[in-house]
Structure 1
Amino acid sequence: MKRLKFNRVLTNKDFIYAITLLLIIGLISFSFYELSKAEVKVTQGDEVTTIRTHANTVGDVLNELVIDVGEHDELSHNLNDRVTTNMKIQHTVANQVFLSIDGKETTYYTTSKTVEDFLYEQNIELTENDQLSLALDTNVNNQLEIAIDKAFQVTINDAGEKQQVWTTNSSVEELLNENNITLHELDKIKPKTTAELNGDTDIVITRVEKVTDVVEEEQDFPVVKRQDSSLEKGKEEIVAQGEPGVIEKHYEVVLENGEEVSRELVKEEVKQEGKEKIVAIGTKVNQTISTNNITSTNSSPKSASSSPKSSGSSEVVSRSGGGNEPKGKTLYMKATAYNWDCSSCDGRGLTATGYNLKANPNGVIAVDPSVIPLGTKVWVEGYGYAIARDTGGNIKGNKIDLHMATTQQASSFGVRTVQVKIIE
């Protein structure tokens, strides 16, 4: 059997056909390769990247995009999750945040969008009195600094008035400024204004002031006794009423919260010199006049005795007797003194009976008319003769009020028990 021999020469047309066929096969293969890729969207913040990839896992996709996932970053999928077509991967980079609470700073990493979200994430609660350095809706960015001052309650005792206030201040001085509390030069405060505050601090303010108190004090007047030969022995008469001297004393008084704590005399001035009281003391002795009967020893009318007989009678003639105290009903009464020009008087100087004390300041007393009727003449121990011409709201029962010529005399009299005689 003969072998058939076949020889063919390739033409240019054949070569072009072969090349074209290879290109078609390559294009089909490439298209198939591309179509076999998965489409993945990767979002970082506001940036979205879409890729087609043959990567098997999420981690492979991120490696293709040269994206490093930090320890605190937030990723929507696990790195080992299989890649699927139309997969959406969300990557949020964690920001470093510095949080200071009452001066103590802590570093955090967070993917929260706002300060409010961050505080909620960290379970940090704020009260209405706490102070936050930023607004709650502030966006969180890298290396954000947040400061929180936690409020606490402090008791302020200002001159006895207590109030409780919330504060975040660190010192006493800052707290006083916050509450518009002003300290004056002499005021005291515990603790000091430079002291640090905490929840156990109680602030006590003592208000201190210095005032000048002017007091008028009376000095006792001297009593001068002079012998008077025209006055019966044993009797006394006041020739001149004494007047006490007046000294004005200036005191520096320290008050703490309105109460006096100290008093110091800083100056004295003589406002009125005292006048001595002059008392006349009687020295005149009663006189005795003797009358002798004359008799005659002879019956002759011309005869008469030239000398009196020893058996004559005598007659004593005396001035009106008496001593310091007159006769009459005696009472013992509590006595005070007043003057028409007192601070509570009406200034007219008229008594309850209409008697003018301005013109006639001596010898007037105020009485309880049920005990001593008005118009009664009395003698008062240490005062002398007087007439009941006045009454008083506090003069009840066995009490009398002696009118003095000056307010200083009335002030120095005080209160004493005296003997009162009703003149009959």
Structure 2
Amino acid sequence: MSNRFMKSLFLGSLRSKGIALTVISFMLFITVISLVFYEGTKKTVLLDANGEELEIKTHANTVGKLLSEQEIVVSENDIVTPPMNTPVEEGLSINWEQAKQVAILVDQEITSLWTTQSNIDEVLEEAGIEISEHDRVTPSLNEQLGVDQIITIEKAFQVVLNDGGEEQSFWSTSITVADFLKRENIQLNELDRLEAHIEELIMPNSVVNIVRVEKVTDVVEESANFATETRTDSSLLKGREKVVQAGENGTVSRKFEVLKENGTEVSRKMLEEKVIKKPQKKIVAIGSKIAVASANTNTKDNTSAAKSNVSVSRNNNSAPSGGKEFYVTATAYTAGCNGCSGITATGINLNANRNLKVIAVDPSVIPLGSKVWVEGYGHAIAGDTGGAIKGKKIDLHVPTKEAAYKFGRRQVKIKVLN
């Protein structure tokens, strides 16, 4: 092959490559121009997608197509502004808020809500759920939805607390008594008594009773009563008494353990007793001497009276001098009356001599054993008592029932001679 031919081939190759480069360059130019033109015809919009702001250049002619280009799936509960069919213009602002399904649990009853709100209070307002200041909301009203998108509401109700006798009303969302006491910071002491089981359920208008119990020590000084001792005294007439030694109370100190419930004493236990002053006993002499009654010398029984060694005196209706004088209501009785034994309270045997001058008296007015003078009856001994003889009343002993009936009831003067 000659040099000329080789040269001719080489030059031809160069011409072909030049043409190819020219074509490629032209095509590249056309492409760049097209891209520049294509990009230049895009519209710039601002997209807020769930709080994330994006600047987007797009040829999409509607908001819906633009969101589709961005692979955003819009559900029926989402909020898109402006609407999906709005034409896309330069500088348009688009906002997409994706709805969330929120579960609302109100006192164990659950409801579901689709919402674009994030704050708890806004979600509840959208759901039409009213919340009082005493209700318990989790998360709290000023917080945002958590990842689990659950809102728990415990509706408050009134509970009455009777604490040591003082009643107070509380708004509570507690389930049990234990939770209620914990939330209200109510402390129980060791002896206090809760009148309910700690895990008992609390219902609206429940009453929680707490009995406040305390033990205290009480030391008191009390009077120790004296004892009375009686001794027989043969020098005193039977029925008479004489105080030989006056009684005097002593003093004793007692220490008690006192149990109180709600401030009221319910039990008292003596722990210690100490005698501070011993009591002095009272000694009383009781008379045993038998009184000797006089007999009426005007009766036919004078002889039997003398035989019974009873002193006899004449019936003298004239009032003796001296003595305490007053008026009494007088009646009469016999030794053989119904229910009578014939033996007087001072031991006089009226059966042995029906003519003995003895009267029944009230010892608080006329002491037993006293010598007396009774108008229309004469001198006598206050030697008997009677159930109906009270105050200024006397009952005169007479020989027969007929004499008693005849005497009846009358006002008489009496003198107590000793």
How far did 1:218 drift?
2.8
The equivalent position to 1:227 in structure 2, one of 213, 219, 234, is: 234
Structure 1 residues 178-215: Cα deviation after superposition (integer angstroms, max 9, x where no partner): 44544344433333333222323112333344567766
In 1, Cα distance between the equivalents of 2:327 and 2:181? 70
Matched, 1:191 2:196: yes
In 1, Cα distance between the equivalents of 2:327 and 2:229? 29
The equivalent position to 1:61 in structure 2, one of 51, 66, 90, is: 66
In 2, Cα distance between the equivalents of 1:279 and 1:330? 31
The equivalent position to 1:162 in structure 2, one of 162, 167, 171, is: 167
The residue type equivalent to 1:218 in the other structure is N
In 1, Cα distance between the equivalents of 2:215 and 2:327? 52
Structure 1 residues 129-152: Cα deviation after superposition (integer angstroms, max 9, x where no partner): 233444544344643554443322
In 1, Cα distance between the equivalents of 2:154 and 2:144? 20
**Partner residue, 1:52:** 58
Q: How does 1:316-327 map to 2 (within 5 A)?
A: 327=324
Please identify, of 21-30 and 191-200, the stretch whose mean Cα deviation from structure 2 is larger: 21-30
**Partner residue, 1:275:** 281
The Cα RMSD (Å) is 5.1
Please identify, of 30-39 and 125-134, the stretch whose mean Cα deviation from structure 2 is larger: 30-39
Matched, 1:85 2:89: yes
Structure 1 residues 143-169: Cα deviation after superposition (integer angstroms, max 9, x where no partner): 355444332221122343222122233
In 2, Cα distance between the equivalents of 1:129 and 1:218? 64
**Partner residue, 2:180:** 175
Matched, 1:149 2:157: no
Matched, 1:111 2:116: yes
Counterpart contact for 2:157–2:205, Cα < 8 Å: no
The residue type equivalent to 2:125 in the other structure is Y
Counterpart contact for 1:221–1:243, Cα < 8 Å: no
Provide the aligned length of Structure 1 versus Structure 2.
Answer: 290
Counterpart contact for 2:102–2:114, Cα < 8 Å: yes
Matched, 1:206 2:211: yes
How far did 1:224 drift?
1.7
User: Equivalent residue of 2:93, what SS?
Assistant: strand
**Partner residue, 1:126:** 131
Check 1:73–1:419 CA distance in 2 against 1; reply closer, same or farther (3 A cut): same
In 1, Cα distance between the equivalents of 2:65 and 2:94? 12
The equivalent position to 2:225 in structure 1, one of 214, 218, 231, is: 218
The unaligned stretches of length 5 or more in structure 2 are: 1-14, 293-312, 314-322, 329-362, 368-389, 393-415
Structure 1 residues 276-329: Cα deviation after superposition (integer angstroms, max 9, x where no partner): 51416375999xxxxxxxxxxxxxxxxxxxxxxxxxxxxx9xxxxxxxxx8466
In 2, Cα distance between the equivalents of 1:57 and 1:83? 4
In 2, Cα distance between the equivalents of 1:93 and 1:178? 39
* Aligned sequence identity (%): 32
The unaligned stretches of length 5 or more in structure 1 are: 1-10, 287-315, 317-325, 332-379, 385-417
In 1, Cα distance between the equivalents of 2:213 and 2:274? 28
User: Equivalent residue of 1:175, what SS?
Assistant: helix
Please identify, of 31-40 and 193-202, the stretch whose mean Cα deviation from structure 2 is larger: 31-40
User: Equivalent residue of 1:128, what SS?
Assistant: coil
Check 1:142–1:273 CA distance in 2 against 1; reply closer, same or farther (3 A cut): closer
Check 1:120–1:75 CA distance in 2 against 1; reply closer, same or farther (3 A cut): same
Counterpart contact for 1:218–1:247, Cα < 8 Å: no
Check 1:130–1:328 CA distance in 2 against 1; reply closer, same or farther (3 A cut): farther
Q: How does 1:15-414 map to 2 (within 5 A)?
A: 34=39, 37-44=42-49, 45-53=51-59, 55-70=60-75, 72-79=77-84, 81=85, 83-86=87-90, 87-95=92-100, 97=102, 99-102=104-107, 108-134=113-139, 136-140=141-145, 142-144=147-149, 146-209=151-214, 216=223, 218=225, 220-228=227-235, 237-243=242-248, 255-261=260-266, 272=278, 275-279=281-285, 281=287, 283=289, 327=324, 381=364
User: Equivalent residue of 1:222, what SS?
Assistant: strand
- The structure in which a higher percent of residues are helix is 2
Counterpart contact for 1:254–1:262, Cα < 8 Å: yes
Counterpart contact for 2:225–2:279, Cα < 8 Å: no
In 1, Cα distance between the equivalents of 2:155 and 2:260? 39
Counterpart contact for 1:224–1:276, Cα < 8 Å: no
Check 1:419–1:244 CA distance in 2 against 1; reply closer, same or farther (3 A cut): farther
The residue type equivalent to 1:62 in the other structure is L
The residue type equivalent to 2:281 in the other structure is K
